[in-house]
Structure 1
Amino acid sequence: MASVDDIVDLLARVRERSRGLLINLEGKYTAVGDLHGDLATLELVLKEWEGPYLFLGDYVDRGDKGLEVVTTVFQLYLEGKAAVLRGNHESPIMNIEGGFLDELCEKLGRKCGYVYKEFEKTFATLPLAAVVNRKIVALHGGIPLREDMTPATLAELEKIEGDLTAPQNPLAFQTLWNDPCPCDKYSPSPRGPGIWLFGRDVTREFHKLHNTAVVIRGHTYVPQGCAVHHGGGVVTVFSSSAGPYQKTKPKVALVKNGVEVYDAATKNSAKCPEDVDVF
């Protein structure tokens, strides 16, 4: 276990390397979905799958190795071996009840509050989205919607300003929280106010705006570890079998000009269910 000083130094170096809320990537990446403190799956991926890696968020909460997972992911980022996106669980909105703050206090003792504040500041600097080879959009939750319920652009995400510790900006919030639905347009999300389920028309218009082909995202728990939505315009990858997800078969995806999903352990090509209604 790293010392408090080592963790704080690591977080400061991550903040110093911040590249903004939208990043552009070139090349081939191994994309990893939600880990939620699943150190065993992370170690499996690092052993069996080549980098660089594209982490889609939700490193902490629910599993009991969130500290080890998030610090490992951040170290990979600093070494130039990974791109790291923010998930909805990289936020005090979730960490107080989700388990990460309690985990820090159990492992770090009386300095846990101080260290958690450093995590808060660091999470707020993580990118909301990445564009890979100009064709693939990676984010954690889903396509955000403007007030007129049309899809927001990546340029709008890039221009978001202000304190994002607990995101109040609706586009930032939705990027972390929205989910696809087997519908045409949109509907309010069971997750809560300000969150939306987006349908095929939204996905189609989003890709038309950006000349992109696929949105790869995490966020939605599916026992199979993956799902395909909207005729392949959206792909969900879930990589945790920790905590409440013990029956999950973790998946990863190879991302270049398209998205190919594989079983993390067997390396077999995955058969992902289509247009699942997770709610």
Structure 2
Amino acid sequence: MGCGTSVKTENQTKKSEKAIKAAVLIQRWYRFYTARLEMRRRYTLSIFQSIEYAEEQAQLQLSNFFTFMIDHFAQVNGPGPDLISDIVNCSREEQRQLEDYEVLEVPDSYDGPQISFPLTVSDTNTLLHGLKQEKQLHARYVLQLFHETHKFLKQMPNVVHISTSYSKELTICGDLHGKLDDLLLIFYKNGLPSPENPYLFNGDFVDRGKNSVEILIILFAFLLVYPNHLHLNRGNHEDPIMNMRYGFTKEIMQKYKNHGQKMLHLLEDIYSQLPLATIVDSKILILHGGIADTTDLDYLTSLKRGKYKSVLRPPKPQKHNKPNQNNTSSQNTMSGHKTDGSDECYSPALFSQSKGTHNMMVSTGLSRNSILEIHYLDSNIQMPDTELTATECEEWKQVVDILWSDPRNQNGCLPNSFRGGGCYFGPDVTAKLLDKYNLKMLIRSHECKEEGYEICHNGKVITIFSASNYYDEGSNRGAYLKLCPALAPRFVQYQVNKCTRKLTLHQRVSAVEDSAFRALQEKIYTHRSDLMKAFREHDPKETGRIFISEWALSMEAVLRLNLPWRTLRSRLAKINSDGTVEYLSCFEDLQIQQPVKEVQPNLIETLQRYRADLELVFNIIDKDHSGLISLEEFRQTWKFFSSHLHIDIDDETIDDLAHSIDSNKDGSIDFHEFLEAFRVVNKFDKK
């Protein structure tokens, strides 16, 4: 029996060893699998963010041209209608018309939410119910709501101080970006705003999503009902020029065609009166973007925020003598000061990398002598007639920094070259500011995070981002932050799931990853000519193959997206057994549909690359946002262009040009005709 028992024990031991080995192998495989998934999720988010920030930098660069248009078009146009400047400027007579919302009647056929002023809790419930059912609030109510909101915000300070009681928790929400489903989910999970349930929304309510106006309606309504228990900070997208690029202007003009322009004017005033920061219990600083090593909360408290309707467009300088050039020096290019330490201020105070900065011109091949040059902003270009004093520069820089900056792990403060505006601030910058003002923590938003939030700088900086599925379905969670009286943060995550609800984690990651790579491949294809030139510098014999290191260097030199190209190479190009890359394979799976016939391939790439910029120019010219440029709008615009370029063009020539662009001869110019006419070429191209 003893021998039998011994054999049995030995067999059990062997089985146990096999089971342990199997468990270890499964554990290793699972760890490897989850690590791979996590790596894929991270570089997918990096791809989306890199493309997003590259677009933002292009927007900041293009703002130079738009600022010139806005500042000078009225002078060219004389007493006639002002096509450009009325986008961001409003006369006193027009302002009185904007306030005259009472002349608008709500028809009996209107079946949307009915509200009355002053607003009550019942009105907010009516609004929520109606907007959930996708009912559109009548323009009369919207205009009055915006008007009342502006009146209230004018009374608010630049930096709001609030406190929590023993029984309250403050809920802090980050970027919503027009995603109404996220806001409704927050209210469902966390409850509606009330004296017992206060909220703070930290900017970027609009753009990108399709329901920006509905979000503003809800937030403004609760603000008027609970002025002491709902708080709003300004974000970098609360800006009319940003709205023209990222969708909100188009959204509001489509939803409120006849009254959209009035609403946009009112919103510009509202943007300029939104508080810049909030301090909770004298310990927690909350602002949208971040800080710089020069951020001064006392200075922020005293400046006149109302003149910053667009942070991308500096306020017009007061009449003054040129300041003494020895008064002030700047340690940061973002200040808008010259790097030699002089006081002369260059604007906007937005940084663009000198290497790889696009200096472009847009030309039309349909007129012999008509050439429009659009020079993209370079970091050292001074815009006409916007020379500011050192004081004005510093004031503007303070606002730019808190709306556009991002934290980083390294110490110091550097220009935010990735976004093109604000700065990167390190843990030492955070610690210095918190110590100076006896603060405990900085809460900010501005950046999409995979989990909806992120803690950095030794727990001193929290990023909160409330728009889930920001880049694509399943790309990220949203989150909000609960701040108790003890000031200990608690995070609540969520995700508005629709198509991805039934997918496994692997399937969700794969779907988002595929979407990110499609976006990246499209960007690669639009730079095909530049990339081929860079590749062939490493391939003088034209073998079609280069080393991986050369391929990665070429990709980064042309695209400047700061991505892990070696990691991504297997999804973007064919790799040979000898470790070389077949660089032609980068362009095999994508083809751009030509908007016009018989156009050179490199022109098609360029048109596609700058399509968003051209569409923005088109939308500015298209004053009534009908999707068509009338001949009168075209005539007014070209009078401005010809004056800017000092070209003498008579009305007959302009009309001939308009008719030549109008290829289908319907009396107006649509975007495809406009795109065919305006050809973007490299400024330094010998051709």
Counterparts of 2:160 and 2:308 in 1: how far apart (Å)? 17
Given candidates 251, 256, 263, the residue that maps to 2:479 is: 251
Residue ranges of structure 2 left out of the alignment (5+ in a row): 1-135, 192-196, 315-395, 497-561, 564-687
Counterparts of 1:192 and 1:254 in 2: how far apart (Å)? 29
Is 1:117 the counterpart of 2:347? The answer is no
| Cα distance, 1:86 vs structure 2 | 0.7
| Cα distance, 1:193 vs structure 2 | 4.8
SS in 2 for 1:17: helix
Task: Judge which range, 2-11 or 130-139, deviates more.
Answer: 2-11
Given candidates 302, 306, 310, the residue that maps to 1:166 is: 310
Does the 8 Å CA contact 1:151/1:205 hold for their aligned counterparts?
A: no
Given candidates 179, 184, 199, the residue that maps to 1:53 is: 199
Does the 8 Å CA contact 2:469/2:477 hold for their aligned counterparts?
A: no
Does the 8 Å CA contact 1:136/1:212 hold for their aligned counterparts?
A: yes
SS in 2 for 1:73: helix
The residue aligned with 1:31 is 172
Given candidates 199, 211, 225, the residue that maps to 1:65 is: 211
The residue aligned with 2:414 is 187
Does the 8 Å CA contact 1:62/1:242 hold for their aligned counterparts?
A: no
Given candidates 439, 451, 455, the residue that maps to 1:228 is: 455
Taking only aligned residues, the RMSD between alpha carbons, in angstroms, comes to 1.9
The residue aligned with 2:433 is 206
Does the 8 Å CA contact 2:414/2:423 hold for their aligned counterparts?
A: yes
Given candidates 283, 297, 321, the residue that maps to 1:154 is: 297
Given candidates 5, 20, 29, the residue that maps to 2:157 is: 20
Counterparts of 1:263 and 1:221 in 2: how far apart (Å)? 13
Task: Judge which range, 70-79 or 190-199, deviates more.
Answer: 190-199
> Are the structure 2 counterparts of residues 23 and 237 from structure 1 closer, same or farther at C-alpha, using a change threshold of 3 Å?
same
Q: Scaled by the length of structure 2, what TM-score is found? A: 0.37
SS in 1 for 2:209: coil
Does the 8 Å CA contact 2:469/2:495 hold for their aligned counterparts?
A: no
The residue aligned with 2:491 is 261
Does the 8 Å CA contact 2:468/2:495 hold for their aligned counterparts?
A: no
Does the 8 Å CA contact 2:172/2:483 hold for their aligned counterparts?
A: yes
| Cα distance, 1:259 vs structure 2 | 2.3
Residue ranges of structure 1 left out of the alignment (5+ in a row): 267-277
Does the 8 Å CA contact 2:203/2:234 hold for their aligned counterparts?
A: yes
Is 1:7 the counterpart of 2:7? The answer is no
Counterparts of 1:231 and 1:22 in 2: how far apart (Å)? 25
| Cα distance, 1:128 vs structure 2 | 0.6
SS in 1 for 2:458: helix
| Cα distance, 1:265 vs structure 2 | 5.9
Counterparts of 1:223 and 1:264 in 2: how far apart (Å)? 11
Counterparts of 1:159 and 1:191 in 2: how far apart (Å)? 30
**Aligned residue identity for 1:160:** L
| Cα distance, 1:171 vs structure 2 | 0.5
The residue aligned with 1:91 is 239
Counterparts of 2:443 and 2:413 in 1: how far apart (Å)? 19
Greater RCO (CA < 8 Å, at least 6 residues apart): 1
Given candidates 228, 232, 249, the residue that maps to 1:101 is: 249
**Aligned residue identity for 1:21:** N
**Aligned residue identity for 1:130:** T
Counterparts of 1:135 and 1:11 in 2: how far apart (Å)? 32
**Aligned residue identity for 2:220:** F
Question: Could you give the per-residue CA deviations for residues 224-277 of structure 1, whole angstroms, max 9, x where no partner exists?
Answer: 2111110111100011025525322110001242322221469xxxxxxxxxxx
SS in 1 for 2:258: helix
> Are the structure 2 counterparts of residues 243 and 250 from structure 1 closer, same or farther at C-alpha, using a change threshold of 3 Å?
closer
Counterparts of 2:247 and 2:470 in 1: how far apart (Å)? 11
SS in 2 for 1:232: coil
Does the 8 Å CA contact 1:141/1:175 hold for their aligned counterparts?
A: yes
SS in 2 for 1:97: helix
> Are the structure 2 counterparts of residues 90 and 11 from structure 1 closer, same or farther at C-alpha, using a change threshold of 3 Å?
same
Considering fraction of residues, name the structure with more helix. Answer: 2
| Cα distance, 1:194 vs structure 2 | 4.8
CA radius of gyration, larger in: 2
Identical residues among aligned pairs (%): 29
